[in-house]
Amino acid sequence: MDQESLSKLKTALHFVWNSGDYETVARTLEPGAAAFFDRLAVGPGDRILDVACGTGQIALPAARAGAKVTGLDLSENNIEKANALVHAGGLEVKLDAGDVEDMPYKDETFDLTVSLIGAMFAPRPERAAAEMLRVTRPGGRLVMGNWADGGFIASFFAALAKYAPMPDIPSPLLWGDEATVRDRFAKGVASLALSRHPYRIEYGTPVPETVEHYFNDFGPSMVAVADLDPDDREDLREDLEALFTRHNIGTAEAVVIEAELLDVVAVRA
Res. 244 pLDDT band, cuts 50 70 90: very high
Q: In whole angstroms, give the CA distance from residue 86 to residue 123.
A: 29
pLDDT at 266 over 80: yes
pLDDT of 6: 86
pLDDT at 168 over 90: no
Tell me if residue 204 falls in helix, strand or coil.
coil
pLDDT at 98 over 80: yes
133's torsion region: left (phi>0), alpha (psi -120 to 50) or beta? alpha
As a whole number, the mean pLDDT across the chain is 95
* 68-73 and 47-51 strand pairing: parallel
Domain spans of the chain, in order of start: 3-201+257-268
Q: In whole angstroms, give the CA distance from residue 23 to residue 215.
A: 15
Residue type, 116: L
Residue type, 133: L
- Average pLDDT of span 230-238: 95
Instruction: Please state which CATH number belongs to domain 3-201+257-268.
Output: 3.40.50.150
- Kindly report, residue by residue over 128-143, the tens digit of the pLDDT: 999 999 999 999 999 9
What is the dihedral sign for C-alpha 65, 71, 75, 77?
positive
CB 175 within 8 A of CB 146: yes
